Amino acid sequence: MTGTSYTIIGGEKQNFTPHTIPWTLLVLNRGRSALQVSQLKFAEIISIESSTHRRRETVPNVKTLITDTSVNPGEQVNLGISAASYPFVAVIWNDMQLKTLFSPQFIREIEVSGTVCSVPMLYSYRGDLIPSIPTPAHGNRTVKTFPMTAIETGTSALYPFDYAGIYNKKLFQLARGYDPEINSSFWQKMDFGFRSWLWGERIELNSSLRIYYTSDFQQDDQTIDKDYRRFYLWNLAVRIKDNLAYLPKSGIFSYIFRSGEGPVVAMAEYKEAAFWVDQNSTRFIQSGRALVENWHQRPEEE
């Protein structure tokens, strides 16, 4: 999923107790930290930083994954999950606090859920429930998302809000993780979410998983740009015929006209996407249009 070079330092082996959570905790870093990671009882804790933005000294019992260059959040998640020693990985930011009872029942519920990612109920630092369950809807020539408030376990989410959640490592890697070529956090999460659903994976809320921000958070920038074009080609433009996915050859002319790029660049982008879709043609179980149109009619939500 990624070719980024990194180094892991520290991380003394944890002593297992009956209260040890048998998963990896992956901590993404931004701003000022309020998270006392060494106090969390995960079997493994990985904190991701870059060599150009080291923030703090190594913490005992915490592995620090240091990338040679700065990488976007999605690629950080890819790297951390690849490096994880355990089959389930809880991803949070250092400005979040986990307020969840990791009981044996909860752990088993997550592990047998079959979801690529179980997403949390998110709360502001004031304790207010944040609408953080993205729901798709058709917009003008594109797809819009509306963050909904939900409290029922099993509610479908288009993607993990702010990347936070508990990921099934095997399913995440089968779904190819986040696209490191997309730098916009919004379109990167949209791409991962769409690809997961289009390939038959599920992303669902587990209402027992609760995470609180410790400061204000920024809303995603949904600007239509080159990252949107990549998301569009690799998801929304895909068609399915006889159970095989493809990009229609006729679509290249419309794409060249609407892309805002010159014909050489636009044609290269379209051909790259067409090749990728062809390589993964049997993975798609539905088109992006069908996913959006049928979002509210899936059996689990009836």
pLDDT for position 36? 67
pLDDT for position 222? 87
Task: Give the separation between CA 204 and CA 202, rounded to whole angstroms.
Answer: 6
Task: Give the separation between CA 275 and CA 93, rounded to whole angstroms.
Answer: 35
pLDDT for position 299? 47
Task: Give the separation between CA 87 and CA 84, rounded to whole angstroms.
Answer: 8
Say if CB 27 and CB 92 are below 8 A apart.
yes
Token representation of residue 47: 């904190």
Model pTM score: 0.92
Hey, which residues does 44 pair with through a beta bridge? 24
Total Cβ atoms within 10 A of residue 88? 20
Domains of the chain (ranges plus CATH)? 6-213 (3.90.550.10), 226-301 (no CATH)
H helix count then E strand count, the chain: 8, 13
Token representation of residue 298: 């899936």
pLDDT for position 218? 84
pLDDT for position 58? 60
pLDDT for position 221? 87
Say if CB 81 and CB 172 are below 8 A apart.
yes
What's the distance, CA 191 to chain centroid?
9
Residue for token pair 């998110």: 122
Token representation of residue 67: 């990338």
Residue-by-residue pLDDT tens, the chain, 302 positions: 557 889 999 876 667 787 899 999 999 998 776 666 667 889 999 999 987 665 555 666 889 999 999 999 999 999 999 999 999 999 999 999 999 999 999 999 999 999 999 999 999 999 999 999 999 987 666 788 999 999 999 999 999 999 999 999 999 999 999 999 999 999 999 999 999 999 999 999 999 999 999 988 888 888 888 999 999 999 999 999 999 999 999 999 999 988 888 899 999 999 999 999 999 999 999 999 999 998 976 544 43
- Taking CA atoms, 301 is separated from 156, 162, 246, 287, 294, in Å, by 8, 23, 29, 20, 11
pLDDT for position 38? 63
pLDDT for position 54? 58
pLDDT for position 56? 56
Q: Please name the amino acid found at residue 163.
A: Y
- Complete DSSP assignment for 96-138: EEE-----HHHHHHHHTS--SEEEEEEE-TTSPBP--EEEEEE
Distance in Å from the first CA to the final CA of the chain: 35
pLDDT for position 300? 46
